[in-house]
Amino acid sequence: MYGTIARLRIKPGMEAQLERMSREQVPEISGFIFQYVYRLDSDPQEMMLVVGFTDKESYRRNAESPDQAARFEQYRALLEREPEWNDGDILFSMSQNAG
């Protein structure tokens, strides 16, 4: 798996719009596996976005696509500044099964 962790500074009051846009757009992205958004305790306008794809090629294909450029422009309008991107291989993940 491959993905990114991004630090976002969202404009006040834009959280619901960010979530709505994500839920509407993400299912159509080939190779997409997951997305998590964390609000930082230290600053409620600071968020960390964690996204995973099946592999680096799927991630790159999405990142370089005109569709992703258009989606990013919509997201960018909700942010106070450019995100800080940190791309890399996902070495492992763990979760506890519910139930």
Global pTM value: 0.87
pLDDT score at 27: 67
Average pLDDT, the chain: 93
Tell me: the pLDDT tens digits for 35-50?
999 999 999 999 999 9
Kindly report the CATH number assigned to the domain that includes residue 75. Answer: 3.30.70.100
Task: Report if residue 18 sits inside a domain.
Answer: yes
Binning pLDDT at 50, 70 and 90, where does residue 25 land? confident
pLDDT at site 97: 74
Task: Decide if 94 is inside a domain.
Answer: no
Domain extent at residue 44: 2-89
Into how many domains does the chain fold? 1
Could you tell me if residue 76 is inside a domain? yes
Whether residue 98 lies inside any domain: the answer is no
Residue 97 lies in a domain: no
Give the residue from 69, 77, 61 showing the smallest Cα distance to 10.
77
For residue 82, which of 4, 3, 8, 5 has the smallest C-alpha distance?
8
Residue 21 lies in a domain: yes
Residues 6+ apart with CB under 8 A from 38: 47, 48, 50
Domain-embedded: residue 71: yes
Return the beta strands (E) in 14-59 as ranges: 32-39, 46-53
- Residue 83 has a pLDDT of 97
